[in-house]
Amino acid sequence: MTSAQEITTATASGIAGRGSVLDIEAVRADFPILGRAVRGGNHLIYLDSGATSHKPRQVLDAERDFYTTHNAAAHRGAHLLGEEATDAYESARARIASFLSADPGEIVFTKSATEAVNLVAYAMSNAATAGAQADRFAVGPGDEVLVTEAEHHANLVPWQQLCQRTGATLRWFGVTPDGRLDLAGMDELINDRTRVVAVTHQSNVTGVVPPVAQIAAAAHAHGALVLADGAQSVPHKPVDVTGVGADFLVFSGHKMLGPSGIGVLWGRRELLESMPPFITGGSMIEVVRMEGSTFLPPPDRFEAGVPAAAQAVGLAAACNYLDTLGMPNVAAHEEALTAHALEALSGIAGLRILGPLDTDHRGGAVSFVVDGIHPHDVGQVLDELGVAVRTGHHCAWPLHRALGAQSSTRATFYVYNTHDEVDALAEGVRQAQKFFGTA
Amino acid sequence: MYQEIILEHYRRPLHAGLREPFDAQVQHINPTCGDEVTLRVALKDAGGEPVLADVSYDALGCSISQASASVMADMIIGKTVGEAMDISEAFLKLMQSRGEAEPDEDMLGDAVAFEGVAKYPARIKCALLGWMAWKDATARALSERAEPEPAVQDPDGEKL
């Protein structure tokens, strides 16, 4: 079997072949939705996994299995089902932790990556009134929150709001013409007033993988916290939290073959221990009196309400599925598709790709603009051919402005996509050019 | 969905460009797909009823949104606000019909070409963008006439 290393080398020198380290036929057979027909009776060519991914039988079965066999409110009830539900939930936590080489106590379940970012941002504004132990999280006038122009709105708007709530100042890294972070001003942007740096681990528009470890080192030297948005990285390549360099990492289950409604905040234990909660209520309390309440240690402190145990179990099953494929193989498969897409689309006159044109530190989101044809129309023609892409700003409006694009068409790749599907994407764009008379 | 009339209006939009004079200007955006339109309305009185003297616009968006703005402008310029509102209502109904309604060709003219859009829910907002902007601008222009802003304000911002 071809190793991931060989495929990577091969794609670096061009499109070596259309084989894959993954057994694509077997993988696709695991995804029931891939069997359905779409517009015009075409079979589905799904190139929108960056928005949400499809689910293999194994994940669907695991979630359903929880409901049919072990369903109860976890962390409650002394009865058998309650014990089983709790066990399933905590086992899921441990499984997801091992997927990231993390400690289970550092895994907080949220609804999504978006909620996870908000959890940290609100912890920081809540720190103003949470007592001395939360002081390191407090921000106010004179303090700086550093983000980037390349962020998804989920890792931008909550920080804007934090600044609005607390009087802190928002600052940001700009981007270079090929969508990479412009680090030229880093020595000034990261300074003693910087309290938190929020940066993408992989762009959902350009695929760019910024040097998070380097940025984190600078941030830590000034005592700032670092949050990395892993929504587009964790599903697509091996991620070891100890190597990322950040203090917090967020991601969503539904983008990594898992159910919707479950996400993860990974945070360093010593930070979570002194962080005030965001959403409060049942499950996260220690003692409750009318006059006030105390809170549990992490991760429970940040998990108010009855746990989404079925969804956590589904996400754990997704981790199992991905580890069976092997994350290095997943990454290699996607790198080959990305290289193929970059080459195929670069060959189309009147098409401009947003972001780098090779796969060096660049993942599988390929966004592009076509002269004379609005992305929505490009997407419509592709849709008629059964090809599903995303059109618009992809929740990264400032990035689009910075790259001189009013909006774009985006293809994203995952474990069930094939080289034939990349060909169909390119062919569909050419058809759009013919139809709108711009070819 | 892409009727020839729509493509015609997309390639050669009518009444495009922002013109003076105008009574109100709005900017509408469709955040999900990146369509934008800046639209101006100029009213004049004709026998007691306000008439649309001009509807000018700058549209940055997909073929459906641009063509719809062009068709709209061509249909309503010169009509009374009341008549234009009736057309607007008829068009909205057509968009919400899921392709099952019989469009009123007399009322809608070229706009019946957008009939197919109703079968593609994701494109309905595109077709309606110009109309929504026009309704907003017209409402502002009308209320401006009812309660005009004073030409001069004192330094404290009080109306004189």
Contact A311, A318 (CB under 8 A): no
Residue A1's pLDDT is: 38
Distance CA B10, CA A371 (A): 14
A-B C-beta contacts closer than 8 Å: 44
Residue A99's pLDDT is: 98
Question: Of A277, A23, A279, whose CA–CA distance to A127 is shortest?
Answer: A277
SS3 assignment, position A397: helix
pLDDT at residue B65 greater than cutoff 90? yes
Contact A82, A76 (CB under 8 A): yes
Best probe of the A interface among B63, B119, B129, by most A CBs < 10 A, is B63
Neighbours of B90 (CB within 10 A): 18
Confidence of residue B123 (pLDDT cuts 50, 70, 90): very high
> Nearest C-alpha of chain A: how many angstroms from B156?
27
Q: For chain B, which residues lie within 8 Å of any Cβ of chain A, measuring from their own Cβ?
A: 1-2, 7, 11, 31-36, 60-65, 120, 123, 126
Fold of B4-141: Sufe protein. Chain: A (3.90.1010)
Query: Chain B within 8 Å of A438 (Cβ-Cβ)?
Result: no
User: Which residues of chain A have a CB within 8 Å of the CB of B62?
Assistant: 374-377, 380
Confidence of residue B83 (pLDDT cuts 50, 70, 90): very high
Of A400, A407, A436, the CB nearest to B33: A407
Beta strands, E only, A263-384? 263-267, 285-289, 292-295, 351-353, 365-370
Residue B145's pLDDT is: 80
Residue A12's pLDDT is: 37
Of B33, B36, B60, the CB nearest to A391: B33
Contact A365, A50 (CB under 8 A): yes
Tell me how far the alpha carbon of residue A364 is from its chain's centroid.
12
Residue B34's pLDDT is: 78
User: Which residues of chain B have a CB within 8 Å of the CB of A436?
Assistant: 7, 63
Residue A18's pLDDT is: 77
> Nearest C-alpha of chain A: how many angstroms from B64?
8
Instruction: Please provide the average confidence, as pLDDT, over all residues in chain B.
Output: 89
For chain A, domains (ranges, CATH) are 4-49+326-435 (3.90.1150.10), 71-322 (3.40.640.10)
Q: Is B1 close to A380, i.e. CB distance below 8 A? A: yes
> Nearest C-alpha of chain A: how many angstroms from B5?
13
Distance CA A159, CA A39 (A): 40
Amino acid at A208: V
> Nearest C-alpha of chain A: how many angstroms from B37?
12
Distance CA A290, CA A170 (A): 38
SS3 assignment, position A390: strand
Query: Chain B within 8 Å of A380 (Cβ-Cβ)?
Result: yes
Strand-pair partners of B41: B24, B55
A144-148 vs A408-412, strand pairing mode: unpaired
Q: Is B34 close to A375, i.e. CB distance below 8 A? A: yes
Residue B146's pLDDT is: 78
Domain boundaries, chain B: 4-141
Residue B150's pLDDT is: 65
Q: Is B63 close to A436, i.e. CB distance below 8 A? A: yes
Q: In what order do the strands lie in the sheet with A365-370?
A: A351-353, A365-370, A408-412, A390-392
Of A392, A406, A437, the CB nearest to B32: A392
Active-site amino acid positions of A:
395
User: Which residues of chain B have a CB within 8 Å of the CB of A375?
Assistant: 33-34, 62
Distance CA A373, CA B66 (A): 12
- Residue range B100-122: mean pLDDT, rounded: 89
Contact A286, A294 (CB under 8 A): yes
- Residue range B120-148: mean pLDDT, rounded: 91
Question: Of A135, A72, A4, A25, whose CA–CA distance to A309 is shortest?
Answer: A72
Residue A15's pLDDT is: 38
ipTM: 0.85
For every one of its 439 residues, what pLDDT tens digit does chain A have, with 9 covering 90 and above? 334 444 344 333 333 457 889 999 999 999 999 999 999 899 999 999 999 999 999 999 999 999 999 999 999 878 999 999 999 999 999 999 999 999 999 999 999 999 999 999 999 999 999 999 999 999 999 999 999 999 999 999 999 999 999 999 999 999 999 999 999 999 999 999 999 999 999 999 999 999 999 999 999 999 999 999 999 999 999 999 999 999 999 999 999 999 999 999 999 999 999 999 999 999 999 999 999 999 999 999 999 999 999 999 999 999 999 999 999 999 999 999 999 999 999 999 999 999 999 999 999 999 999 999 999 999 999 999 999 999 999 999 999 999 999 999 999 999 999 999 999 999 999 999 999 988 7
- pTM, rounded to two decimals: 0.92
User: Which residues of chain A have a CB within 8 Å of the CB of B32?
Assistant: 392
- Residue range B43-67: mean pLDDT, rounded: 92
User: What residue has token string 């990594």?
Assistant: A256
Residue B103's pLDDT is: 84
Residue B105's pLDDT is: 87
Least trusted range by pLDDT, from B35-39, B61-65, B150-154: B150-154
B35-46 vs A390-392, strand pairing mode: unpaired
